[in-house]
Amino acid sequence: MDATAAPTTPAERPTKKLSESSAYLAEIVGEESLFGTRMAAGAVLDTLDICAGYTAAKFSGSRVVTLAFDRVDLSHPILHQDLVRAEGRVVSVGRSSMVVHVRAYRQDLLSRQFELVQESYVTMVAVDEKLRPNPNIPAVVYDDAEEEKRINKILLSRKEANENWQQCQKIEDAINREGKLEFMSIPKTQVNVKRIFFPKNLNYHNTVFGGDILLWMDRVATQCARQFTRNRHVFTKHMQRVFFKQPILITDVVEMNARVVYVGKCTLEVEINVSLEWASGEVFESHSGYFTLLNCNEAGWKRPIITGLQLADDDQFFLRSYVQAKERRKLWKKWKVDERNDATSAKGENEAKFSLDE
């Protein structure tokens, strides 16, 4: 067999233990002049992406690119000048893809303890110099049967959640809107931005770094929510799945369209679609994402949103967008209940297997 050929069977692959796949990064984030004030969520999404890429590259010994982000839940805010630690480990390996479980912690100054603020599953793909999938990566071996059983249960739950998420995108039922003091149609909530990137935004593949894209998406989502609510005190609560369909090159013109597609009592969802205009003039869809933002007052307490969405029966496209967002909201609530139940039953074991003391 050619020494450079890809392994054709699992037995031909080198292996690494799950415990060998762990990696971490730590940094003091934000600006000294803004000490103690809340940071935008995009900065931490950027950190999670960097950690996932570092973990996957260290495990595979290959260049890697971000393929997809599962939802990201922000359980606590990140403040300027916080010490933030991001931890990752590879929990599953495909032919050239790796699923990385990443967690972000911030150190609380009063208790001096690290508290979990964000976590997600990120799919990274190993690539060669021409950005083609690289199947020459190790397989992952679990440290013991109990660990393998626990990880497989998480991966199965993740697969089912993703299938449910895809299914909820097809729902076209009629909707009932809640009463508000004023109304805007979905098209009027739209915020459109267009830009090019510079060499400082490139990774070592000469494509735009995925973390910079997520940071920009969070800024655009926040601006869209501020415009809709007429309130600058809105904060990202969580981000739904993001799937990168096209790499972004420095020669591409990148356009983002953000619009409010669902409004609750104190939260709203912003849908963002990203398109690329190549140097040839061709336009392609790159990726999309869904951000849930919380409306607050100046003191940081939740504040009801007084603006609602004006929906018309003859506009099926935006009706469908609203219903899909409503179903995503229901699905997210179900995920949280399931995760809370799983965490209660396996809290001690999980902390022992994946702790800051490792």
Q: For residue range 331-346, list pLDDT tens digits in order.
A: 777 766 666 666 666 5
Q: How far apart are CA 160 and CA 86, in angstroms?
A: 26
Which of 145-149, 178-182, 209-213, 255-259 has the weakest average pLDDT? 178-182
Q: How far apart are CA 52 and CA 122, in angstroms?
A: 7
DSSP 150: H
**What's the Cα-to-Cα distance from 356 to each of 202, 310, 343, rounded to whole Å?**
31, 48, 17
Q: How far apart are CA 79 and CA 77, in angstroms?
A: 6
Mean pLDDT along residues 116-142:
88
> Is residue 86 over pLDDT 90?
yes
Q: How far apart are CA 69 and CA 99, in angstroms?
A: 10
Tokens linked to 105: 């912690």
- Cβ of 130: how many Cβ atoms within 10 Å? 7
Residue with tokens 């915020």: 191
Give pLDDT, residue 256.
93
Report the SS3 class of residue 110: coil
Q: Where are the domains of the chain?
A: 15-145, 174-341
Share above pLDDT 90 across residues of the chain, in percent, rounded to a whole number: 31
Overall fold of domain 174-341: Thiol Ester Dehydrase; Chain A (3.10.129)
**241: amino acid identity, one letter:** R
Radius of gyration over every alpha carbon of the chain, rounded to an integer in angstroms: 21
Total H helices, total E strands in the chain:
4, 16
**293: amino acid identity, one letter:** L
Give pLDDT, residue 164.
63
Q: Look at the alpha carbons of 67, 114, 20, 349 in this order and tell me if their dihedral is positive or negative.
A: negative
Which of 195-199, 207-211, 238-242 has the weakest average pLDDT? 238-242
15-145 architecture in CATH?
Roll (3.10)
Question: Do the first three CATH levels of 15-145 and 174-341 match, i.e. the same topology?
Answer: yes
At 203, give phi and psi (nearest 5°).
-90, -170
